[in-house]
């Protein structure tokens, strides 16, 4: 049945794309969609400031909007003005997921010419899969990096098809929307150009690079005219600040944190998956090119390790080179899918064995599990044990993963087109509707998570300091001084306790914030010209209550003496 469905979709283009759209919607339902949270806390806030310069008038954090070198969000300015930003973002997100599934199908079809592999990789995208350094293939909100992904994969498809001028042109355009992912793909292309360099056609590589530069000029000019331009200075203190707080996973490959250990193992699984698949494929120019792409990723990761441990060059820190590992996940999933289908076609895996591996490939969070079950099923075959028993193990692993992810706040299915509905959101709405735009709040700086918005997103009001600001410091290193001044004032002693575990960083900040007493908050109000204090209900202070809802209380701070 699986083979028939794969062949049918391969030969019916309209039904194929309707299937992609169906998978996209199903993927969004399973992965969740959350407006105004995680990385969107920066983008949405910055976008509002671009539209309404009068917002956040005394909030220094908003100056960092000039250091997000992407034109992507500017395309949504008309929708924000028209009051339909949330709907437009959701629609584009659906189309982006649809495009991502389409491109994975297309790459699989180009590389393996096996309809079953195309279908298998497409279905696998429904469920969350992670590699190194912990990013999912399909994320739970629209970001510029998620939007460019199908186009980056499309440029890789063009490159493999031999349409290199178009590939470099598309990559240059995408550089204006997300410079980091476009640069990673550019490094793959250029390494392959160097490896396959010919005396007769060497000039073509230069032309390709010129095409890329020409189409990436808008963001390059913006970058050169902002701040220090291409900053090649060494900033170990900035790296320590960012990594110790929230960004250890994007600067250091492994630590004692269980999350990072898991990410590292998942990353190793993606490399293993690629090697398994690559070894089984004919050594055509396309497969050799993919090998060179993986080599480029390995070189980028090696440079990232040198930068993080020995040579913290600011520009390279800003590129967060460890994030090149997400392409290992993309390529590993592709080649593992191709490997499984090739093994089935050649008779090396029985139909039942393929069903088991298909289930693990689709459901389980890392390819490492599928590889494990591949070797385990072969072992079962040798000792004549029924492989069907392994299906219960697959389901058990998936059940434990789901429970752990949901309890830890790492997975939250559900569609929230207009943002989360919570007491924290209600307090922000109250602040927006009942205070002047110049109002300054002291808020719990630690309230932020994958599915929890930062204070500024919906309140449209300034906060003295919030912990997500720490993630933006590498893009404008001089900003660190101002951030440290405010964080040390609002959460005294927290910074010295940060150890690179971002979950513990939030807990440490919470404890430090609530170590302040009534007198301390009066002094902070005078120091930062704050008008209101927001706290969780378990903490009471001798101020007049301005608003209370559920878990939160808003106090009116007294005027300074």
Q: Looking up tokens 């150890």, which residue turns up? A: 499
Q: Cα dist. 487→444, 463, 482, 521 in Å?
A: 11, 11, 9, 14
Please write the tens of the pLDDT for every residue from 530-561: 999 999 999 999 999 999 999 999 999 998 87
Between 65 and 347, whose confidence is greater? 65
Cα distance between residue 403 and residue 258, in whole Å: 16
The CA-based angle 25-153-160, given to 5 degrees, is: 140
Q: What is the pLDDT of residue 389?
A: 74
pLDDT band of residue 331 (cuts 50, 70, 90) is very high
| Cβ partners under 8 Å of residue 203, min gap 6 | none
pLDDT greater than 90 at residue 201: no
Q: What is the pLDDT of residue 3?
A: 87
What is the gyration radius of the CA atoms in the chain, in angstroms? 25
Cα distance between residue 310 and residue 332, in whole Å: 29
Q: What is the pLDDT of residue 485?
A: 97
Cis amide linkage into residue 133, ω under 30° from 0: yes
Q: What is the 3-state secondary structure (H, E, C) of 420-474?
A: CCCHHHHHHHHHHHHCCCCCEEECCCCCCECCECCHHHHHCCEECCCHHHHHHHH
pLDDT greater than 70 at residue 194: yes
Q: How many CB atoms are closer than 10 A to CB 309?
A: 12
User: Could you tell me whether strands 544-549 and 552-556 are parallel, antiparallel, or unpaired per DSSP bridges?
Assistant: antiparallel
Q: What is the pLDDT of residue 387?
A: 66
- Contact present, 95 and 146 (Cβ < 8 Å): no
Q: What is the pLDDT of residue 386?
A: 66
Cα distance between residue 142 and residue 47, in whole Å: 14
In this prediction, residues 433-440 reach a mean pLDDT of 97
In this prediction, residues 282-301 reach a mean pLDDT of 97
pLDDT band of residue 382 (cuts 50, 70, 90) is low
Please write the tens of the pLDDT for every residue from 45-88: 999 999 999 999 989 999 999 999 999 999 999 999 999 999 99
Please write the tens of the pLDDT for every residue from 241-278: 999 999 999 999 988 888 889 999 999 999 999 999 99
Q: Looking up tokens 């969004």, which residue turns up? A: 28
Structure tokens at 420: 């989360």
Cα distance between residue 473 and residue 456, in whole Å: 17
Q: Cα dist. 282→158, 172, 273, 338 in Å?
A: 20, 31, 16, 12
Burial category of 405 from C-beta neighbours within 10 Å (exposed 0-12, middle 13-18, buried 19 and up): middle
Q: How many CB atoms are closer than 10 A to CB 236?
A: 12
Q: Cα dist. 269→133, 264, 325, 332 in Å?
A: 12, 9, 12, 8
Helix or strand holding residue 4 (H, E) = helix 2-11
Phi, psi of 547 (to 5 degrees): -165, 145
Q: What is the pLDDT of residue 230?
A: 84
pLDDT band of residue 146 (cuts 50, 70, 90) is very high
Q: What is the pLDDT of residue 211?
A: 98
| Cβ partners under 8 Å of residue 331, min gap 6 | 270, 274, 290, 293, 294, 297
Structure tokens at 91: 């629609």
pLDDT band of residue 383 (cuts 50, 70, 90) is low
Phi, psi of 40 (to 5 degrees): -65, -15
68 torsion bin: left (phi>0), alpha (psi -120 to 50), beta (else): beta
- What is the value of pTM for the model shown? 0.95
Q: How many CB atoms are closer than 10 A to CB 1?
A: 5
pLDDT greater than 80 at residue 388: no
- Contact present, 169 and 184 (Cβ < 8 Å): no
């Amino acid at each position: 049945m699986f083979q028939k469905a794969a062949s049918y979709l391969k030969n019916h283009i309209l039904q194929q794309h309707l299937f992609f759209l169906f998978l996209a919607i199903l993927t969004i339902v399973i992965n969740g969609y959350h407006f105004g949270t995680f990385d969107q806390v920066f983008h949405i806030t910055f976008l509002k400031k671009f539209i309404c310069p009068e917002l956040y008038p005394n909030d220094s954090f908003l100056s960092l909007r000039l250091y997000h070198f992407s034109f992507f969000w500017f395309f949504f300015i008309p929708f924000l003005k028209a009051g339909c930003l949330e709907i437009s973002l959701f629609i584009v997100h659906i189309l982006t997921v649809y495009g991502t599934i389409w491109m994975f199908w297309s790459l699989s079809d180009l590389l393996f010419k096996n309809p079953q592999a195309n279908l298998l990789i497409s279905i696998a995208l429904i469920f969350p899969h992670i590699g190194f350094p912990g990013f999912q293939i399909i994320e739970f909100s629209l970001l510029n990096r998620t939007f460019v992904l199908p186009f980056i994969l499309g440029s890789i498809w063009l490159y493999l098809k031999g349409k290199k001028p178009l590939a470099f042109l598309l990559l240059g355009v995408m550089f204006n929307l997300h410079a980091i992912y476009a640069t990673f793909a550019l490094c793959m292309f250029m390494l392959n150009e160097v490896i396959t360099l010919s005396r007769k056609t060497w000039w073509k590589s230069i032309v390709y690079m010129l095409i890329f530069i020409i189409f990436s000029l808008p963001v390059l000019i913006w970058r050169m005219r902002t701040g220090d331009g291409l900053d090649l200075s060494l900033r170990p203190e900035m790296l320590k600040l960012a990594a110790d707080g929230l960004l250890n996973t994007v600067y250091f490959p492994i630590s004692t944190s269980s999350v990072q250990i898991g990410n590292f193992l998942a990353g190793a699984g993606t490399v293993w998956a690629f090697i398994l698949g690559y070894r089984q494929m004919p050594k055509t120019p396309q497969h050799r090119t993919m090998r060179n792409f993986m080599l480029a990723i390995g070189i980028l990761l090696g440079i990232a390790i040198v930068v993080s441990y020995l040579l913290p060059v600011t520009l390279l820190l800003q590129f967060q080179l460890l994030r090149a590992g997400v392409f290992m996940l993309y390529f590993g999933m592709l080649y593992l899918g191709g490997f499984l289908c090739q093994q089935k076609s050649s008779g090396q895996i029985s139909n039942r064995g393929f069903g088991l591996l298909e289930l693990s490939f689709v459901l389980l969070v890392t390819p490492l599990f599928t590889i494990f079950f591949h070797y385990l099923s072969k072992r079962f075959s040798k000792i004549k044990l029924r492989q069907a028993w392994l299906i219960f193990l697959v389901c058990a692993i998936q059940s434990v993963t789901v429970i752990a992810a949901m309890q830890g706040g790492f997975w939250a299915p559900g569609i929230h087109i207009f943002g989360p509905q919570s007491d924290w959101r209600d307090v922000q709405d109250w602040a927006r509707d009942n205070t002047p735009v110049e109002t300054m709040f002291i808020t719990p700086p630690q309230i932020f998570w994958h599915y929890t918005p930062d204070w500024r997103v919906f309140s449209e009001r300034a906060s003295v300091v919030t912990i997500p600001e720490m993630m933006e410091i590498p893009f404008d290193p001089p900003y660190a001084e101002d951030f440290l001044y405010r964080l040390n004032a609002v959460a005294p002693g927290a910074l010295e306790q940060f150890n690179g575990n971002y979950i513990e960083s939030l807990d440490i900040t919470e404890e430090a914030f609530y170590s302040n007493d009534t007198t301390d908050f009066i002094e902070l109000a005078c120091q930062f010209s704050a008008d209101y204090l927001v706290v969780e209900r378990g903490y009471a202070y001798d101020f007049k209550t301005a608003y209370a809802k559920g878990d939160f209380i808003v106090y009116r701070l007294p005027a300074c003496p």
